[in-house]
């Protein structure tokens, strides 16, 4: 990585880097990008936290930049052990939207 990161973590072929505390997360696939030139990070990442204590609830939501990157993340990361816990990585779930105003009583 070109700059000296403030935080970094590696998991298999993936490396996450944060260059400033609280700054955006960069994600690199070291298998295809050992020089860390192509940030394949997400378009958006949200960690879910308790609104009173601001402590992480241990999960979040991620929007990847492409469907292929999202599928690869699911394939490579789901059910893997990370710091003593199993990762749960899945694609977005759609809900069954119903128009209740048109239902008969």
- Count each helix (H run) and each strand (E run) in the chain, helices first: 1, 7
The whole-model pTM stands at: 0.50
Q: What is the pLDDT of residue 49?
A: 86
Q: What is the pLDDT of residue 83?
A: 79
pLDDT tens string 87-103: 899 988 766 655 555 45
Q: What is the pLDDT of residue 92?
A: 80
Q: What is the pLDDT of residue 3?
A: 60
C-alpha span between 52 and 31 (Å, rounded): 40
pLDDT of 79 higher than 80: yes
C-alpha span between 17 and 3 (Å, rounded): 10
């Amino acid at each position: 990585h070109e700059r000296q990161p403030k935080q970094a973590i590696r998991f298999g072929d993936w490396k996450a880097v944060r260059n400033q505390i609280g700054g955006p997360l960069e994600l690199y696939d070291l298998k295809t990008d050992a020089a860390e030139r192509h940030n394949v990070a997400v378009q958006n990442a949200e960690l879910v936290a308790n609104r009173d204590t601001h402590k992480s609830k241990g999960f979040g939501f991620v929007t990847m930049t492409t469907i292929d990157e999202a599928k690869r993340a699911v394939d490579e990361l789901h059910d893997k052990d990370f710091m003593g816990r199993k990762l749960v990585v899945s694609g977005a779930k759609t809900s069954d939207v119903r128009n209740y105003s048109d239902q008969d009583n």
